[in-house]
């Protein structure tokens, strides 16, 4: 059975069907929908950074993504600073060796 569903037709049929319901049924359906939405917004699953398991937290996904992105940027900045410091140390060691004439002769033969 390869039946393709047209969402627009389904929405029209549902809208037409709801017009046939009485007001008390419509009110009960609206209350049930609102209650379900309230429960859904409070208990949305969030991946915690400490345990790696899904838990029910209050941190939204967008805030979690910003936190992870900030941590990655901080790590990159730290690594760039460390690399820069290591390069400066290496250059200063070569400068000291040149100034104190402690370089081997192979360095000057080229």
pLDDT digits (tens, 9 = 90+) for 51-84: 545 555 555 667 778 888 999 999 999 999 999 9
18, 26 Cβ separation under 8 angstroms: yes
- Summarize the confidence of residues 7-27 as an average pLDDT: 86
Q: What average pLDDT score do residues 21-50 get?
A: 75
Burial class (CB in 10 A: 0-12, 13-18, 19+), 64: middle
DSSP the chain: --PPP-HHHHHHHHHHHHTTS-HHHHHHHHHHHHHHHHHHHHT-EEE-TTT-SEEE-S--HHHHHHHHHHHHHHHHHHHHHHHHHHHHHHHHHHHHHHHTT-S-GGGT--
Task: State residue 61's pLDDT score.
Answer: 65
Please state the pTM of the whole predicted model: 0.36
Q: Quote the DSSP letter at residue 46.
A: E
Q: Is the pLDDT higher at 104 or at 93?
A: 93
What residues are paired with 56 via a beta bridge? 45
Asked if residues 12 and 5 have their Cβ atoms less than 8 Å apart, the reply is no
């Amino acid at each position: 059975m390869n039946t393709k569903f047209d969402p627009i037709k389904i929405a029209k049929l549902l809208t037409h069907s709801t017009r046939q319901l009485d007001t008390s049924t419509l009110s009960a359906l609206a209350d049930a929908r609102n209650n379900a939405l309230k429960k859904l917004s409070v208990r949305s699953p969030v991946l915690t950074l400490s345990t790696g398991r899904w838990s029910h937290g209050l941190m939204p996904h967008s805030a979690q993504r910003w936190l992870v992105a900030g941590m990655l940027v901080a790590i990159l900045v730290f690594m760039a600073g460390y690399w820069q410091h290591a390069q400066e140390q290496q250059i200063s060691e070569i400068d000291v060796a040149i100034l104190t004439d402690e370089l081997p002769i192979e360095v000057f033969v080229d």
